[in-house]
Amino acid sequence: MKTRILCNLTLALSLSVIFPGVLFSQTNTITVTRPDGTKSTTHIRELSTNEIEAYEKEKAFDESKKRKEEKDAQYVECLRAAEENYNAAWVRDCRGNGLPDDCTLPVPIARRQDERYESAKAECRVQFLPKGK
């Protein structure tokens, strides 16, 4: 059986400032009343400007990292789709010429397929990679 802890939170706020995800002031206190009636009071100190700036920088870094990871995943998916389309077009051209699926296409047709594939990969780079890569 889990022990239930009943909490009576009392916040004494003065000069409160609320930041997303962070609550601080000069005189925050939390009072917890346990099931046996005993009370415990904890004082929460004010966050310094440096701590707030560090928190905001870390949050911005995390968000930037998440956006980069999403872009990277989209880039990989784009390349996968380009390759899949290339392979499907190759098989279609082989069949269209009465050849087996893994045929060697005539040079002009193979060159056209390769150019389309390279163009699709370049479009993925333009769309999902930062400029200069």
Full domain range(s) for residue 96: 61-128
Looking at residue 16, its amino acid is S
- Here the tokens at position 120 are 């699709």
What's the CA gap between 42 and 8, in Å, rounded? 12
The model's pLDDT over 55-81, given as tens digits with 9 standing for 90+, comes to 788 888 888 888 899 999 999 999 999
Average pLDDT taken over every residue of the chain: 77
pLDDT of residue 77: 96
pLDDT of residue 104: 94
Note whether residue 91 is domain-resident: yes
Residues forming a β-bridge with 28:
44
Total domains in the chain come to 2
Note whether residue 53 is domain-resident: no
Say if residue 23 is in the same domain as residue 75: no
The Cα-based distances of 104 to 97, 109, 119, 132 in angstroms read 11, 10, 21, 36
Token match 């928190």: residue? 55
